[in-house]
Amino acid sequence: MNQRIKLHALSVSLVALSSGLVNAAEVNLYTTREPVLIQPLLEEFNQKTGIKVNTVFIKDGMLERVKTEGRRSPADVMLTVDFGNLVDLVENGLTQRVNSKVLNTAIPGNLRAANGHWYALSMRARAVYVSKERTPLKAISYEDLANPKWKGKICIRSGSHPYNTWLIASYIAHHGEKATEQWLRGIKANLARPASGGDRDVARDILGKICDIGVANTYYVGTMRNGDAEQQRWGNAINVVLPRFKNGGTHINVSGAAVAKYAPNRKEAVQLLEFLSSDHAQAIYAQSGYEYPVKSGVKIDPIIASFGKLNIDNVRLSEIAKYRKAANLLVDKVQFNH
């Protein structure tokens, strides 16, 4: 009898242990950002909440993967480094609404979806790199990039790259398609070399006297000036000017996140987003990638702060998103990359 009681007690304990393992708090993060860049934050989140974060790094094709997985997808939070990819997830019905007072208080209205389907977590500005040696430029508008005075002096990556697609879409939002087409033709006429390469190549070619100014993201300056010796030379050869639209502010792109439509751990997913919007997390998140925090009052990395105050453009990201297709069509129409 005593033996049966012992066996029953052991059976109950094993069931309880098994149940505890199955129900252990966790959250599955699909991310296009290298996990190593946010791992310290995820570990801190785990220590603070007891929720384990399982990260799945997806360099390309997150949309296709989540679509294919369908209702069986284990994804709880989907984090992207480009707003275009985030919008694609929303527009394909792969996200769900979040109504969090914490998130809505921390993140400004223009940096989150009105219906709670996405939230920005960090920002970068589309800036102008300027030769320290040859170009004493203190201010410039995006419109001025098409001014003939810059003929043969501008470097930029492909017009089809998402960073430039968003800038062109933003220009359409401000000025319309016809004016944007003329603007693109003007910039193309001013190029020192074909639109190609990456943003860091812009700084490299300014150092190499191929061009005097170029269009690139702010955070690359931090990575260059803290990179290897060669990249430090590129980063130290330039100043950074934050352009503005003549009727607006500086164009930004964002990294952001959304809760997956079929998230098996919805509660934990929301907790993770709320943690990433906290003062402490925002400071680490922004400084580790040399980006701007979305929450006001959070300290910015000194290199990024040295560029001056960021006056964000007044057109909502969701409005710019409407013109992405038109932007790509214009790039093809003017043969910007050829």
User: Which tokens in the block code for residue 228?
Assistant: 């290897």
209 dihedral zone (left: phi>0; alpha: psi -120 to 50; beta): left
Residues 196, 151 within the same domain: yes
User: Which tokens in the block code for residue 257?
Assistant: 């996140």
* Helix 229-236 × helix 199-207 angle, to 10°: 80
**Burial of 243 per CB tally in 10 Å (0-12, 13-18, 19+):** buried
In a domain, 282, yes or no: yes
In a domain, 2, yes or no: no
In this prediction, residues 73-78 reach a mean pLDDT of 98
User: pTM for the whole thing?
Assistant: 0.88
Residues 89, 224 within the same domain: no
Residues 115, 264 within the same domain: yes
- Is 199 in a helix, a strand, or coil? helix
For 120-134, the pLDDT digits (tens) are 999 999 999 999 999
What type of residue sits at position 291?
Answer: E
In a domain, 306, yes or no: no
Q: Give CA separation, 89 vs 67, 118, 165, in Å.
A: 9, 9, 17
Query: What percent of the chain has a predicted confidence (pLDDT) above 90?
Result: 86
Task: Identify the domain containing residue 183 by its residue range.
Answer: 125-251+312-333
In a domain, 17, yes or no: no
For 249-285, the pLDDT digits (tens) are 999 999 999 999 999 999 999 999 999 999 999 998 7
Q: Give CA separation, 63 vs 79, 80, 95, in Å.
A: 11, 11, 11
2 pLDDT band, cuts 50/70/90, is very low
* DSSP secondary structure code for residue 236 in this structure: H
Residues 158, 76 within the same domain: no
34 pLDDT band, cuts 50/70/90, is confident
For 140-167, the pLDDT digits (tens) are 999 999 999 999 999 999 999 999 999 9
Residues 266, 239 within the same domain: no
Residues 282, 220 within the same domain: no
In a domain, 245, yes or no: yes
In a domain, 9, yes or no: no
Residues 177, 94 within the same domain: no
Write down the mean pLDDT value for the chain: 92
Radius of gyration of the chain from its Cα atoms, rounded to whole angstroms? 23
The vertex-243 CA angle with 140 and 311, nearest 5°, equals 135
pLDDT attached to residue 23: 55
304 pLDDT band, cuts 50/70/90, is very high
In a domain, 94, yes or no: yes
Is 219 one of the annotated binding-site residues?
Answer: yes
For 159-217, the pLDDT digits (tens) are 999 999 999 999 999 999 999 999 999 999 999 999 999 999 999 999 999 999 999 99
Query: What is the three-state SS of 274-337?
Result: HHHCCHHHHHHHHHHCCCEECCCCCCCCHHHHCCCCCCECCCCHHHHHHHHHHHHHHHHHCCCC
In 32-85, beta strands by DSSP E: 52-57, 77-80
Residues 318, 178 within the same domain: yes
Q: How many domains does the chain have?
A: 2
Residues 231, 195 within the same domain: yes
Residues 194, 329 within the same domain: yes
Residues 207, 58 within the same domain: no
CATH of the domain at 276: 3.40.190.10
Residues 153, 267 within the same domain: no
In a domain, 71, yes or no: yes
Is 171 one of the annotated binding-site residues?
Answer: no
* Residue 241: CB atoms within 10 Å: 19
